Amino acid sequence: MSDNSRHITLGATPVDWRQVVEIARHKVSLSLTTQAWDRIITARKTVEEIASSATPYYGINTGLGALCEVVLEPSELQRLSYHTLMSHACGIGEPLRKEQVRAIICCAVINYSHGYSGISPFVVEGMMRLLNEEVTPIVPSKGSVGYLTHMAHIGLALIGHGEVEYLGQRMPAKQALDTIGMAPLTLGPKDGLSLVNGTPAMTGLACLTLADTAHLAAWADIIGAMSFEALGGQQDALLAEVTSLKRHGGVQHTGDNLRRLLQGSPRLAHCRGQHLQDALSLRSMPQVHGACRDQFDHAARQIDNELHSATDNPLVFTGKDGYRVVSQANPHGASVAMACDLLAIAVCEWSSISERRTYRLVTPQTNHLPPFLTAEAGVKSGMMIAQYSAASLVADNKRLAQPAVTDNFMTSGLQEDHLSLGESAALKLDQALDNAFQILAIEYLLASQAFDLIDEQAFAPGTELAWKTLRETIPFYEEEHALHLDMYAAYNLLRDESRQSPFITLAPHLNPGKR
């Protein structure tokens, strides 16, 4: 069940993407402030007042999309909300992960808490119960061009339709609602539209990718430092007086991380001056990793701004002089989509430069290590083919780095003729991140194998910690079992968030999500 010892109350101060991750991934319970509930209720009273009006108000007493000119009778508005969910639940393919659905629900609650949707407070309460009691709708991952499909499948669960995951089992939504003592909701005016509208789906997915990107950024510096040391890099390229002349925050942080991780390395002191200049995959780590970190910072600002935004259509404005209902385009997800697309490029860069270092670790012409990191080259191939696997995944990430937001289609008659593809952008970023962790896991294995094969074995405390951390669970590779088993074990190590704590003590800038 949810972690009742940890609780987040939203609605008084601006929300942060990290709070969404805490609720979605770590199952921290959620509540709203009295002020947030007051905003939700005020907007709802306005919707109920105008629902019976003969004046058309989009989505409140009219049809949707290209049917916006069709004015409905008050008696039809419940049916409109019901049929909206049924017709919009068009998802395809494998379900989203549980944490992804939870992040979407959390962001939907945040969107409604701004008080401009006019959705029923009973719907908001229902969504919060799904979160806090861990009833997770089954939501197909594909089929969205912006925001409708994923949200519709979540809405189905609230009215007792579709399937959910509860207590580790997949079951009909009605069964799970009965178990927690929650009656299926009857939707009223605008409820169906508000459930499928806005940018919570892409924003929730993006919050999780921010957490994973920050985690990846830290490991990229740690593992890159190991490769730099194993290959006898020239530390002058990492000097503070050098990186300080590159006026980007990410470059400063990566340079600081590498210097701290490599500080006190007898091996690098021994290798000093042995060659004039290293390959770019080694000496440009501050500049490349740093540029990727800057894109993370940009994306985090964009996602936080989206969380602070009201993204329903129409928006309901209520004031002393009455109300206004405004049709507009705040649900357009261009900002989130572009942030995810740009971050996918950064993830590809982290992946690409890691694979280049991996290549140098296994290639006899580029180092002074045993060929392919085995003492028995010839009868054994060592780590040769692991680099092939990394190259394949980098090629995949190059394709995933192609932007989604620049694509476009015509939908809903002539109404929706410019799409963000924001959910597609977030989902391909999620896939790229998983590939990137696999790529870094391979470099981690190879750099550790190189450390084992270096005679003096006198390394910096930071990189030695990384080496020993891997060796606690994965022994030196002697080709007595399939190499993919070690690759998978290293990947799982990198995915374990608890493993970074000792390194962040050494280099406080390592994880940009913890600043």
- Structure confidence at residue 487 (pLDDT): 97
Question: Could you count the other beta carbons within 10 Å of the beta carbon of residue 472?
Answer: 9
pLDDT at 120: 97
Cβ distance 177 to 135 under 8 Å? yes
pLDDT of residue 375: 84
7-197 belongs to CATH 1.10.275.10: yes
pLDDT at position 52: 78
- Mean pLDDT per 10-residue run, the chain (515 residues)? 73 94 96 97 92 81 74 83 92 96 98 96 98 97 84 96 96 98 95 93 97 98 98 96 95 97 96 92 97 98 97 90 87 94 98 97 91 86 92 98 83 68 93 98 97 93 98 94 97 96 95 88
* Cβ contact 98:229 at 8 Å: no
CATH of 206-514, one of 1.10.1050.10, 3.30.565.10, 1.20.200.10, 1.10.3720.10: 1.20.200.10
What are the extents of the domains in the chain?
Answer: 7-197, 206-514
* Omega before 95 within 30 of 0, i.e. cis: no
Taking the C-alpha atoms of residue 296 and residue 339, their distance in angstroms, rounded to an integer, is 9
The pLDDT of residue 515: 66
What pLDDT, on the 0 to 100 scale, is given for residue 413? 59
CA 31 → CA 6, 7, 17, 317, 491, distances in Å? Answer: 11, 8, 16, 24, 35
Number of CB atoms found within 10 A of residue 2's CB: 16
This prediction's pTM: 0.95
